[in-house]
Chains A and B, each alone.
Chain A
Amino acid sequence: MNEILQSFIGQVSNPWLKLGIDIVIILIKIAIVIAIALLHVAYATYWERKVIGHMQVRLGPIEVGPHGLLQPIADGVKLFFKEDIIPADADKPLFYIAPVIFFISTLTSLSVIPFFNHFVIADINIGLLFLFAMSSLGAYGIVISGWSSNSKYAFLGGLRSASQVISYEIAMGLSLVGVMIMSGSLNLVDIVKAQQQYPTGMYFIPQILGFFVFVVAAFAETNRLPFDLPEAESELVAGYFTEYSGFRFALFFLGEYTGMLIMSSICAVCFLGGWTVPQFIMNALPFLSKLPNIVWVLVFLVKVYAFMFFYYWVRATLPRYRYDQLMAIGWKLLIPLALLNIVITGLAKILIKG
């Protein structure tokens, strides 16, 4: 498919037309990715409610559609038609823009996630750095929303979130340095390919320390239990989005779940081998290489959803940490572990090469 397109574009001589075709292709890719991603986000909420429901001896959504399958759509429609309340004392321009910043920054991260070999909107060579940049940018949305709501609960939630995201960003960035050293690239497609060539097929085995730090940091980055302090409902009512309603609230909600999807995708790409299965399995079962591409996209999705399941599982099991304990874990445990991991990985790489 891609080759045919490339050859077609190659025949076009007019540079402007060529640019136009490129843009159209990118737009189509974006449309597909956003549509599919948002559908996944919607059904991630459904799946979460089902999983947690069954863990908590209840059924989860069951009324809307067969087995409640239409529940996310009903929720979306409801949120869309709800009244959009803006507090009288809110800083209105900032109040408007905060959910948009949050949502767009998480959505933009989708552009560098490789769902399959060539199916990535922007195959840039600093994909991993781009992801970090975007997830840090999302914190601005949260802080601005907390500030502009002019509510003390939202303000505290925003402050908590800012410090939390900044602290855990470091741990998370450091945890992935090991992967960068092993694969020698920041491009996510290359990282996946390098993993497939590696004897274990997945980096989470040699990078077990980094994997651990990444998982914990991912929970904190996406404000999920046990680190959901910015929106701790028993302390801060709803945290930074206390004053939001209707569609603006939906943007935060979607952004948060997209964030989870992206964290799961990063985990799948960097530690679990993306859309590939380890080489030794491929060698043992040669018929696998004849399977159509769609199967490998499904493999990727299975990995993503397995990680999402882990998110839900933890949410159903653990209480919430306190603010100072959260900071202590970030600075005193995760960052030293991540640094240790970098040292070990670097030494191992030098020793094996030399």
Chain B
Amino acid sequence: MEHIEKTFETRELTISMGPQHPATHGVLRLVLNLDGETVVRCTPYVGYLHRGVEKLGENRTYFAALPLSDRLDYISSMNNNVGYVNAVEKLFGIEAPERAKFIRTMVAEMGRISSHIIWLGTHVLDIGATTPFLYAFREREVIMDLFEMLCGARLTVSYPRVGGVRNDISQEFLDELYDFVLDFPSKMDDYETLVTENRVWKNRTVGIGVISAEEAINWGLTGGTLRGSGVNYDVRKHAPYDVYDRVEFDVPLGKNGDCYDRYLVRIGEMRQANRIIKQCIEKLPAGPVMADAPKFTLPPKDMVLKDMEHLIHQFILITKGPTVPEGEVYMGTEVPKGELGFYFVSDGTGKPYRMRVRAPSFVHASVLPRLCEGGLIADVIANIGTIDIVLGECDR
């Protein structure tokens, strides 16, 4: 009898998740090779939202490139602005006045809360719980309204300026912000009641996407994604800018480096951000909000409209840009997603010779294959959520 050996040929199923997919947080594209439900290989493709922000920055004066930083991570534009102006100030060698520094710290932490709360909502929504997502927008709306009150814009704020902030804050703003700050911890308790000890949530996140401390450093992770693995690195602590060295806050750390620990870290960060805002309001000094450095800062608008010298001053700065010392400078700031770095090479003209953005989302997107391979499709979703990427920043 003839023995026929017939082995069935099986193939991996390749699915293209994205760029249009409900859970890829924008236009991330993942090509997944599946063996049943198991992910064998995961290849991220980025660049669908590329706008050439770095190149655009090289064709604008340092003042005019500020709004570009809004459009990096459009969920936390305030933090990007703060990062940008800090880097430019470092290059110019000027320093913002005390009051402006406090205001910047305060609004940056508001941006952190609004960004983390979006992260919480979408991450939880991806895993299937709809209610925290809508609760999250309730709190975000308050912050958006406060931003609108502050500078007229809600999303792309461009509020901080090189050498300070655009305008002083009103007492009304401070009062409303203080109410929010006092109320916020109880809102956080709401989320934690729904999510933190939820068994289904723990089943979906504990032990998923584990990355050890050493590996996390090697991949270049920063922010909550790094601290979830237990690495105590926070730019606000290690290279303080603005007034982070004068406010008290803790850096929440995870242990296991899984999705659940990263979740706890970011929840903790929101509470700490709230604490920082409270201290900033209480310690806010009086004084000017713009540095007294006429060569690098624009003159006050009302003087420009009245006075010839100020008009010429403004005209020169806007058209030619400031005269900048030659050299290069890197400044990293802690944005909600991780360490956002701005690197400028100056050739002495009013425009940067090279502007480079170190985008945490880009670095974090590169770790996705490491996290996803070997897991199930459902874990891919959890992992995309947990690294907290925004494609506007990733693709630049």
Interface residues of A (CB under 8 A from B): 52, 55-58, 152-153, 156, 225-226, 228-229, 232-237, 315-325
Q: B130 an interface residue at 8 Å Cβ cutoff?
A: yes
- A and B contact pairs by CB, cutoff 8 A, 28 listed: A55-B131, A57-B134, A152-B15, A156-B377, A225-B128, A226-B200, A228-B128, A232-B378, A233-B23, A234-B22, A234-B23, A234-B127, A234-B381, A235-B380, A237-B21, A237-B22, A315-B130, A316-B131, A317-B131, A319-B124, A319-B127, A319-B201, A320-B128, A320-B129, A320-B378, A321-B200, A322-B378, A323-B378
Q: B135 an interface residue at 8 Å Cβ cutoff?
A: yes
Q: Top 8 closest A-B pairs, CB basis?
A: A320-B128, A234-B23, A56-B134, A319-B129, A319-B128, A234-B126, A322-B378, A319-B127
Interface residues of B (CB under 8 A from A): 13, 15, 21-23, 37, 124-131, 134-135, 138, 194-195, 198, 200-201, 203-204, 376-381
The interface residues of chain A lying within 8 Å CB-to-CB of B131 are 55-56, 316-317
Contacting B198 at CB < 8 Å: which of A152, A228, A318, A323? A318
Contact B194 A317 (CB under 8 A): yes
Given contacts A232-B378, A234-B23, A325 and B203 within 8 Å (CB-CB):
yes
Complex Cα–Cα for A232 and B195 (A) = 19
Contact B204 A319 (CB under 8 A): yes
Minimal Cβ-Cβ distance residue in A for B201:
A319
Contact residues of B: prevailing secondary structure: helix
Contact B204 A322 (CB under 8 A): yes
Tell me the smallest distance from the CB of B188 to a CB of chain A, in Å. Answer: 16
Contact A233 B22 (CB under 8 A): yes
Given contacts A58-B134, A233-B22, A234-B128, A319 and B376 within 8 Å (CB-CB):
no
The interface residues of chain A lying within 8 Å CB-to-CB of B134 are 56-58
Contact B130 A323 (CB under 8 A): no
Tell me the smallest distance from the CB of B147 to a CB of chain A, in Å. Answer: 21
Complex Cα–Cα for A315 and B13 (A) = 31
The interface residues of chain B lying within 8 Å CB-to-CB of A57 are 134-135, 138
The interface residues of chain A lying within 8 Å CB-to-CB of B379 are 322
The interface residues of chain B lying within 8 Å CB-to-CB of A226 are 128, 200
The interface residues of chain A lying within 8 Å CB-to-CB of B21 are 237
Complex Cα–Cα for A315 and B131 (A) = 9
The interface residues of chain A lying within 8 Å CB-to-CB of B15 are 152-153, 156
Contacting B125 at CB < 8 Å: which of A58, A156, A234, A316? A234
Residue from the set A55, A229, A317, A318 with the largest chain B CB neighbour count within 10 Å: A318
Given contacts A57-B135, A152-B13, A237-B22, A320 and B203 within 8 Å (CB-CB):
no
Complex Cα–Cα for A318 and B201 (A) = 8
Tell me the smallest distance from the CB of B140 to a CB of chain A, in Å. Answer: 13
Tell me the smallest distance from the CB of B257 to a CB of chain A, in Å. Answer: 19
